Chains A and B, each alone.
Chain A
Amino acid sequence: MTDDKPLTKLYAAVLIALAVEVVLFTILTRSLA
């Protein structure tokens, strides 16, 4: 019940994925406009 593994790398992965998505979306928006 109280298993508490550190997930630091996963937290970083989620935030990096968000940043990558924003960059890709920006490229997509500007290239297709």
Chain B
Amino acid sequence: MRLIDWGVLCATLAAIVAYGMWKGRRQERLAQYLLADRQMQWYTVALSVMATQASAITFLSTPGQAFTDGMRFVQFYLGLPVAMVILAVTAVPIYHRLKVFTAYEYLESRFDLRMRTVTAILFLIQRGLGTAMTLFAPALIVSLVLGWNLQLTTLAIGVLVILYTATGGTKAVSWTQTHQLLIALGGMAVAMIIAIRSLPSTVGFTDAVRVAGKMGRINVIDFTFDVTTPYNFWSGLFGGLMVALAYFGTDQSQVQRYLTGETITQSRLGLLFNGLVKVPMQFFILFVGAMVFVFYQFVAPPLHFNPVQREKVRTSEYATQFQQLESQHAQTFAAKRDAAMQLVAAMDANDSAAAERASTSLQALQKEGDATRKAASDLIRKNDPRADKADTDYVFLTFVMQNLPPGLVGLLLAAIFCAAMSATASGLNSLASTSVVDIWKRLLLPGRADHEYVTVSKWMTVFWGVFCIGFALYANQLGSLIEAVNRVGSFFYGTMLAIFLCAFYAKRVGGTAMLWGAVVAEIAVILCARYTTMAWLWWNVVGCVVGVGAAMIAQMMLPAREVRDAR
């Protein structure tokens, strides 16, 4: 990091925090603090919704995912636009008309206080852990690649977020998110341009795309139906639809974003904009990863992208073996580079036979390279059993640190910090809302003055911020971090979606039956996770279907109830 990089990074972060605190000044009523007085327009709602979902994990891990596995991860988002339409039609009007502060408030009028409390607690557990990971993941990656202290990096991001989120509330969060997302996307665009411009002069943009295609990185759509693999069209459309319905319909961190809409239409437009833009946005981020992959066909990549683990193994008893793998890797790279240049020349000359030969040779060398990288990862894990299974999460940041010019490194780091802060801020804001509205105000200390609850909300934000920082400092890594975050969600989302689906559409189901349905659904998900090879995306479907089914069956066995209609 050069001085100019530090300057860009610190100036951006200081500006964001100051802006947030300024925007969120003078918040005296709970509706102001938690819902920005319901005054937001659709574009702020839209960018806020998008920024909440696009954490630093998206910007760090997703390009790495494309680097190792290609672009098929985009399929995870195919269900999202459908979910946006469904929620715009159903959930938005219900929440708006009831003037709720949280999604779980609605459940009391529909079922009973017990279901409201149970669901709120499920949310607090799941979002609390999720927000901690949102904080931990980028701190870990940044600290490892830059050599910064992990604890201090985690603290720095966490404290900055707490500052403007606690003082400024939802208004501060929503307004800073609009700028943070634009900075993050701008940073990704810069990285992609640099990756393409750094290729050899004979390799143009079209050549790069074609090389990526031949190497299996432009594998965007896969129509194979296979419940054991997470990324295909069907799991994306159906499993992804369930995740999106649960996340945007029942998770307070998202519901709170669109409850700030001035009218039902403004909230709907915000969600629909997300539905239009999300898939292209994810395609773009994955495409950046594919271009970084192509870059590393012409510029030698490290054998392993985690620099700390690399150094550890080089100074261990496995140093000689690692050195042998490194020289093998260098030889394979040299041969691959030649094959890649031949492929480009053949494609430019429209010589399909030569292109086919070069492509076959390149793919074979890629397999060889992958085997060497796997052997290196295995050696690293032998030396340190707690090391990551793969170095996917370090690819993009390594590329940035080693190849971007001065100043732009600072911009990319600012982009990553912005993404981390925006998602963490939403998380803390929603955790505070649910803690105050569903637990503190409803159960513990009702009937107090509004401004007292505002003060409690601020302290709750700080509490959850401290909790997340504390948990983040002790988190374990579970494969790719973006998968870890979604896995945690998929344990609970199916059940929460079942609760809300019954709330909206199955009017005969009462609170007791729904409670039984939720319990059975969670058991089913745990059994699937423990005893089957079912990919985690499908857990949402299991939780939802079992939850709804079990609730309906339970209701049939209970005494008939008076139908409560909260609309």
Contact = CB atoms under 8 A, between A and B. Distances in A.
Interface in B249-304: 262-266, 268-269, 272, 275-276, 279-280, 283
Interface in B291-340: none
B263 A2 contact: yes
A10 B266 CA distance: 13
Contact of A3 (B78, B214, B265): B265
Chain A interface size, as a band, is 20 to 34
Nearest to B213: A32
A15 B85 contact: yes
Contact of B221 (A5, A13, A14, A29): A29
A4 B38 CA distance: 15
A15 B218 CA distance: 23
A17 to B, nearest CB: 6
Chain B interface size, as a band, is 35 or more
Given A4-B93, A7-B88, A29-B218, A17 B210 contact: no
B264 A2 contact: yes
A25 B81 contact: no
Contacts of B265: 3-5, 7
Nearest to B222: A29
B219 interface: yes
Contact of B89 (A2, A11, A31): A11
B213 A33 contact: yes
B529 interface: no
Interface in B43-74: 74
B264 A14 contact: no
Interface in A1-33: 1-5, 7, 10-11, 13-15, 17-18, 21-22, 25-26, 28-29, 31-33
A33 B535 CA distance: 25
A24 to B, nearest CB: 9
B264 A25 contact: no
A14 B218 contact: no
B206 to A, nearest CB: 10
Contacts of A15: 81-82, 85
Contacts of B268: 7
B220 interface: yes
A21 B280 contact: yes
B96 A2 contact: yes
A32 B347 CA distance: 12
Contacts of B223: 26
A29 B286 CA distance: 14
Contacts of A21: 279-280, 283
12 contacts: A1-B96, A3-B265, A4-B93, A11-B89, A11-B272, A14-B276, A18-B78, A21-B279, A25-B221, A26-B223, A32-B212, A33-B219
Interface of B: 38, 74, 78, 81-82, 84-85, 88-89, 93, 96-97, 99, 209-210, 212-214, 216, 218-223, 233, 262-266, 268-269, 272, 275-276, 279-280, 283
**5 smallest beta-carbon distances between A and B, as pairs:** A32-B213, A3-B263, A25-B220, A18-B81, A14-B275
